[in-house]
Structure 1
Amino acid sequence: MEKTYVVGTDAGTTGARTVIFTAEGKEVGSAYFETPTRFPQPGWVEQDAEDVVNLAYRSTKTAIEKSGIDPADIAAISFTNMRSTCVPVDANGQYLSHIFIWQDLRGTEMIPWMRERLAANGMTEMDLYNITGFPISAVPPSSKIYWYKKHFPELYEKTDTFITPQAMLLRAYGAKDDWYDDNTDAGWWQIANADTFEYDERIAEIFGVDVAKYPNNYRPGTQVGTVTPEVASLTGLLAGTPLILGSGDQQCGAIGVGNAEEGLASVSLGTAGLCIGYSSKPIRHPEGANHILGHPGTGHWQMEGHASAAASAFRWLRDSIGQLERTTASVISADVYDLFTRSAEGSPPGAKGAIFLPWLAGAACPYYDSYARAAFVGMTFAHDKGDLVRAAMEGIAFEMRDMLEALKQGGLPDFKYYRVTGGAARSPLWNQIQADIYNGPVETVETSEATALGAAILAAMGVGIYSDVHEAIGNMVHVADRWDPIPENVETYDEIFGIFRNTYKALKTDVFPAISRFQGVA
């Protein structure tokens, strides 16, 4: 009997999710469990590796049970994960530390040292960017690894490999021969060549790290093992189910919304925010404002802009001022976000001049300013809760527009339309706000879990259900809704966007660094 289902398991920032799809991209079962996250001090963000593995097992087992399908009909499982995240393991595979989450800012301490090391070797930051495709910032794991080596030299020496959650889950599900990682995501280590996806020994030497301590990289869609009998009992999968190498969450999210052609940008408003454009050739931003990674479906390239908070900034606002909505939602079994965003419907475009700066975890693209902090500006007695909520929705979209502008400055052609995903894509109001701020059509796809679908697409390619990513996208990705920009709103948002940018400039030099020093991060 032909196997008709593919599975995508996502080790995301906030939790582990497994989604089961038909070969036509229809979701038939899913499960999600939140991962405990610790914040030991301002700027530090940690998780326990065992938690991630056990919750992934649990999500897979529960998704299969909820779907009611026969595990024997599952063709393959693939994985996606929060990127720019790592954990050190010793030669026996034992975790030597907590997981360093991408939002963790402790690597900020090492940024001056990184610049010194480059200068001592006759290089500039742009030289590093032109090789690796990544600007210096606290987001990539590179600065965190250098921090780890500085403060825990004995543990660094004991470290056999720095692994990503992708490699961790593949090993946990049965891929025993190696710590498998995907080459299209290798750029996050900031010691790899962005054109070839191969490690650059000279860059590693400059920063005093051993390339042998980094995982081996393979092309997404490669089979790297099968589910073991022990894991089968923990997950509900059939022993022998192929394990297919996936890719990072946002790369999977891009192909999960059909982003494999020029002229289309995908915008993800999840825990992080990402704007992604596809390129058939190697590409760089002239000022190093965007990072460059591989495109997992084609082996080509994608240029990205990254925001460290995005929808998690909106969740912070919900938790801070949305107690009434949370209580009401629990009583009437409603979605708390639906209730929360409903209050914004009465606020006009521009939120009466209230502007939200969404940098709760520092500013990434295009500013790469780990000192930047979040703020509401422009408040008066005329503003109410609905205005605050709308300002937050708009401010997060303004940050996305800043990144989309940077993508075009990097040489990508103008975007004809945008495919959006993440929690914000469930809100019609937020999708209209995005269409107005980006001044282009915004589309959503049928599945809300684009990252899991992208992993499932790679699983389908890995076992030969589809010959390439375009055939897979044509069969598995389906547009659900579309929002066109409203001209008068576009004009309003163009004006507010200029103020948004100028507000950052006004606070950059004196205010943000002073606050950061007071908080003990800088």
Structure 2
Amino acid sequence: MHAIGIDLGTSGIRLALLDPEGARIHGAHRALPASVGGDEQRAEQNPALWWAIVRELLREAAAHLHGEPAAIAVDGTSATLLRLDADGRPTHPALMYNDARATDMLSVLAGVAPADSAVHSPSSSAAKLLWLRRHEGLSGVRRVLHQADWVTGRLRGRFDRMDENNALKLGYDALWGGWPNWLQETLGSDASLLPEVVPAGTVLGPLDPEMAESLHLNPACRMVAGTTDSIAGFLASGVGDDTTGVTSLGSTLVIKQLAPEPIYAPELGIYSHRLLGRWLVGGASNSGGAVLRQQFDDAALERLSAAIDPETDSGLDYLPLPRRGERFPVNDPELQPRLTPRPEDDARFLQGLFEGVARVEHDGYERLFELGAPRVERVVSLGGGAQNPVWTRIRSRILGLPVTTAEDDDAASGAARLARIGVGLETGFTG
């Protein structure tokens, strides 16, 4: 059986097709338009855009399958929430992972949710759901799902399951294994909107027959419960030991590592996912590549990077955030970016940005160690930022660790690997 992974990312959607031995035989990508935002806290997107691209990519992949069945798994941006009607159709635009309008729900959550829950952020899907309930109402809504769950549901023809990695920021208790009483009591009758939660990698059943026909796929294709985009990136890296950190440098900075026990510190933006019988701990900062994009285009980044000496510190002390608010390694929705003073030399300014993001990364791994995670001995990098050798050397200097680039950093490959694990084509972590 082949495996298909679909990655619903921030700026585009990717597909990876692996043969029965796990070798990549096809990949494709389509760009997505930017999220719509009326202000710095609002971020929405039309789910129809995702579905149109997913259909196109799957039809392309079908031509490479030659009628053979495949296991399919989907990953998506964490905490991107949809409201659905009784037929699984979105009733409104999706609230994206970085929509942060729900600041007024933090006091509500503080009064009902345990301190170690992953919901204590205005961008959490629990905060979003409570905000929608208070400010827009849930009339006509029969289900809430995350981005990956909804696309998986479209392919299954059913919208009754959610993977537990995406469910975490909606309030799911990964230790206990269920929707907690505090959430159900807070939602009241709206608790019926919550679906059944299953572990990532669970076989959900076959592709919907009519969907299979429309996509030219074998109806024996199996749908597998997916995960978040950053966890899919972790799976793509192939890391299986608990002393290797995995840093994803995309629009945001995400760090993760395996640990023997879960760690929850929402006041620092740290949470834990159960994954294939292990615990994956980490956090996601708002710092990252988006800040660089606000200042420079690709050509300028390449040109200015070549003028930087990565072994000499710039002397600048920046906190590179794209806008107000941070999630990790501090959780402060009012934290302001610090991007001054700006030197006349653009190369030095860029170096200061590189170093600022690297210090956020350093502090993130330090927080995990302080809270009980194993000490990281090396870091494997994913994402576009990992391709910049100057930035990699700066990060290695500031982290005090060897930093390498993953051989495969495509989250779609990670989702495909999860699909393979789900149907028994390969085992989980072997390190």
- Using structure 2 for the length normalisation, give the TM-score: 0.91
Residue of structure 1 in register with 2:370 after alignment: 409
Q: 1:206 offset after TM fit, Å?
A: 4.1
- Which of 243, 255, 273 aligns to 2:235? It is 255
Whichever residue aligns with residue 362 of structure 2, its letter is R
- Deviation by residue 1:281-316 (Cα, 9 ceiling, x = unmatched): 33334x742432323222x32221211242222222
Q: Would the aligned equivalents of 1:20 and 1:64 in 2 still touch at CA under 8 Å?
A: no
- Which of 333, 337, 340 aligns to 1:377? It is 340
1:145 aligns to 2:129 (yes or no): yes
Whichever residue aligns with residue 8 of structure 1, its letter is G
Residue of structure 1 in register with 2:419 after alignment: 459
Aligned with 1:375: secondary structure?
A: coil
1:312 aligns to 2:290 (yes or no): yes
Whichever residue aligns with residue 379 of structure 1, its letter is R
Q: 1:81 offset after TM fit, Å?
A: 0.8
Q: Would the aligned equivalents of 1:75 and 1:463 in 2 still touch at CA under 8 Å?
A: no
Counterparts in 2 of 1:176-255, with a 5 A limit?
A: 176-190=157-171, 192-206=172-186, 210-232=190-212, 234-255=214-235
Q: 1:201 offset after TM fit, Å?
A: 1.4
Residue of structure 2 in register with 1:82 after alignment: 77
Residue of structure 2 in register with 1:103 after alignment: 98
Q: State how far apart, in whole Å, the 1-side matches of 2:326 and 2:228 are.
A: 21
Q: Would the aligned equivalents of 2:70 and 2:220 in 1 still touch at CA under 8 Å?
A: no
Residue of structure 2 in register with 1:418 after alignment: 379
Residue of structure 2 in register with 1:48 after alignment: 46
Residue of structure 2 in register with 1:446 after alignment: 407
Q: State how far apart, in whole Å, the 2-side matches of 1:303 and 1:290 are.
A: 11
Q: 1:80 offset after TM fit, Å?
A: 0.7
Residue of structure 1 in register with 2:24 after alignment: 27
Residue of structure 1 in register with 2:268 after alignment: 289
Q: State how far apart, in whole Å, the 1-side matches of 2:400 and 2:191 are.
A: 44
Q: 1:364 offset after TM fit, Å?
A: 0.8
CA RMSD of aligned residues (A): 2.4
- Percentage of identical aligned residues: 21
Residue of structure 1 in register with 2:394 after alignment: 433
Q: 1:168 offset after TM fit, Å?
A: 0.8
Q: Would the aligned equivalents of 1:135 and 1:291 in 2 still touch at CA under 8 Å?
A: no
Q: Would the aligned equivalents of 2:72 and 2:223 in 1 still touch at CA under 8 Å?
A: yes
1:170 aligns to 2:152 (yes or no): yes
Q: State how far apart, in whole Å, the 1-side matches of 2:380 and 2:159 are.
A: 35
Whichever residue aligns with residue 172 of structure 1, its letter is R
- Structure 2 residue runs of 5 or longer lacking an equivalent are none
Q: 1:157 offset after TM fit, Å?
A: 4.0
Whichever residue aligns with residue 320 of structure 2, its letter is P
- Deviation by residue 1:338-378 (Cα, 9 ceiling, x = unmatched): x6233123123466323432222421112211122333123
Q: 1:236 offset after TM fit, Å?
A: 4.5
Q: 1:182 offset after TM fit, Å?
A: 1.0
- Structure 1 residue runs of 5 or longer lacking an equivalent are 119-126, 323-335, 475-522
Residue of structure 2 in register with 1:483 after alignment: none
Counterparts in 2 of 1:298-337, with a 5 A limit?
A: 298=277, 300-318=278-296, 322=297, 336=298
Q: 1:107 offset after TM fit, Å?
A: 0.9
CA 1:310–1:237 in 2, change beyond 3 Å: closer, same or farther? farther
Aligned with 2:25: secondary structure?
A: strand
- Which of 355, 360, 364 aligns to 1:399? It is 360
CA 1:43–1:284 in 2, change beyond 3 Å: closer, same or farther? closer
- Which of 260, 264, 269 aligns to 2:249? It is 269
Aligned with 1:397: secondary structure?
A: helix
1:161 aligns to 2:143 (yes or no): yes
Aligned with 1:188: secondary structure?
A: helix
Q: State how far apart, in whole Å, the 1-side matches of 2:287 and 2:210 are.
A: 38
Q: State how far apart, in whole Å, the 2-side matches of 1:272 and 1:288 are.
A: 19
CA 1:234–1:51 in 2, change beyond 3 Å: closer, same or farther? farther
Q: Would the aligned equivalents of 1:419 and 1:442 in 2 still touch at CA under 8 Å?
A: yes
CA 1:409–1:239 in 2, change beyond 3 Å: closer, same or farther? same
Residue of structure 2 in register with 1:13 after alignment: 10
Please identify which structure carries the higher helix content.
Answer: 1
Q: State how far apart, in whole Å, the 2-side matches of 1:464 and 1:237 are.
A: 21
- Deviation by residue 1:468-516 (Cα, 9 ceiling, x = unmatched): 2135xx8xxxxxxxxxxxxxxxxxxxxxxxxxxxxxxxxxxxxxxxxxx
Whichever residue aligns with residue 157 of structure 2, its letter is K
- Deviation by residue 1:419-459 (Cα, 9 ceiling, x = unmatched): 1101111222222222222111112222231x212211111
- Deviation by residue 1:207-235 (Cα, 9 ceiling, x = unmatched): 66733212211122222132345434554
- Deviation by residue 1:379-416 (Cα, 9 ceiling, x = unmatched): 34xx3122222222222222222211111121001111
For these two proteins, the number of residue pairs brought into alignment is 428
Q: State how far apart, in whole Å, the 2-side matches of 1:63 and 1:76 are.
A: 13
Aligned with 1:112: secondary structure?
A: helix
CA 1:244–1:433 in 2, change beyond 3 Å: closer, same or farther? same
- Using structure 1 for the length normalisation, give the TM-score: 0.76
Q: Would the aligned equivalents of 1:84 and 1:140 in 2 still touch at CA under 8 Å?
A: yes
Counterparts in 2 of 1:130-141, with a 5 A limit?
A: 130=116, 132=117, 134=118, 136-141=120-125
Q: Would the aligned equivalents of 1:135 and 1:288 in 2 still touch at CA under 8 Å?
A: no
Bigger-Rg structure (1/2): 1
